[in-house]
Structure 1
């Protein structure tokens, strides 16, 4: 049986449940349309820094933040369009703005659809008209995120999009990675390194991008939690970013549609013609063993 309940916590929270298998999803539309929690039989999939989440002035560190209209940052947080300079902070504004719920479904799955429309606030930093629709779908141990991006402008709409999921882990040294690439670029030094399936978790920060992907699926097995997570991202996401900080109980494996600074470089940048739309989907499967 599938249900959607609404709770007034610090923020209005939508709780999607598949009661047959005991899976549950929590979504907070007004805090960037974010999924904050995903549980299967009481076991948390996502990490959440509750102190940062409670402070609306801080970006959320946890759950599954939305990246739009850029992934990563751009130099000095600025770019130029039609001779005018704009300021756009890291990962864009979608993760900070309130989204609006437009539809709920509890037949055959629990599905919640949210929308983010361009407004005066977005146009001040990104001079385009758009509509972004997300449907979060929960069924068994699978979370699917269906997306639609619409260009409502009279000019072309340049953007990149992605997700920044924070996966909870007890012991990073017990993680086994199956990432379909033999090399990555260090996002800090820009150096290219071969990838043999392992990371040096003694480093203070790991921030790397896999750009030579040979398939559209990756997985991480967490032996300490007896959990295998599979990420299926389709051909709309040609880049995977891995990020973690030493001493923190999370790692992030992030599907990006374009590279850091693509708004300036054009690398993998999506450009929508006026009136056109673009769809994409990301699926996460959580298997405890």
Structure 2
């Protein structure tokens, strides 16, 4: 494991090659340090980090099984706490440093077919500039067969008593047993972020379709906001707010807004839920940017 510090002006980030995770993204303003993502210690596991990658897809597949092009595929659980193969391999892999500058880092890892049907090469480019933090990720199918691929990010944002979220979306997925998506439904009032709204203080674990690729998180107490924008390949999002039954240490101090290229359990949907079929040698790529601003403007 190697820890890399990036700096550009008032912005700083900290990256670990363990899981390809961000451990910190902060903004120095008027002598104060504002955490833009949940800070984590150097030895934090991915699930306790500031942000981790989702590759070769995010979330879960019902019953760890899917059929594609006449073949049946089965996956095995990759954590002790969940019966599913969860969030792919990237967050559990050791990434290699491919290039490094004071404000830019590229890391990568290669997954061979074996425990899963997926063989691929993933790369992340993490760039700090005066405009904010840009995260770019690509995944190339290095296996022998075409398969559906996706990617995404799992950031943890600080949640203060006055935090609001703006993230317009068109459709909503309920949650069913096993932390899996259930069915389409109307967006509940307390999860309608078509205008800046406070986050509910309850369990939330739901996917949103038709996201327009823009979200804004505002921390009024900190006089700061964070504008998240995603490119055209990333038009789905997942919102996760735990509770103390799931995590006894949870103090309503963070939430997750996860930009993704696809729907959870897309492997088992007729249209693959926007997963992209990659032939051997083909690549899927996506990026997001997180830009801090003073609030109010």
Give the TM-score taking structure 1 as reference length: 0.82
Structural mapping, 1:75-224, within 5 Å: 75-79=62-66, 82-88=71-77, 89-106=85-102, 110-119=103-112, 123-171=113-161, 174-188=162-176, 190=183, 192-194=185-187, 195=189, 196-197=192-193, 198=197, 201-203=200-202, 205-213=203-211, 215-224=212-221
Structural mapping, 1:46-57, within 5 Å: 46-48=37-39, 50=41, 54=43
- Structure 1 unmatched ranges of 5 or more: 1-10
Shift, 1:49, TM fit: 5.6
Partners of 1:177 and 1:76 in 2: how far apart? 33
Aligned length: 262
| Contact 1:186 1:193 survives alignment (8 Å) | no
Partners of 2:204 and 2:255 in 1: how far apart? 9
Given the alignment, which residue of 1, 6, 13 partners 1:25? 13
Mark the CA change 1:138 to 1:248 in structure 2 (over 3 Å): closer, same or farther. same
Given the alignment, which residue of 255, 269, 274 partners 2:259? 255
Shift, 1:259, TM fit: 0.9
Partners of 2:73 and 2:213 in 1: how far apart? 37
User: Is the counterpart of residue 39 in structure 1 residue 26 in structure 2?
Assistant: yes
2:118 partner SS? coil
Partners of 1:180 and 1:263 in 2: how far apart? 25
- Structure 2 unmatched ranges of 5 or more: 78-84, 177-181, 244-250
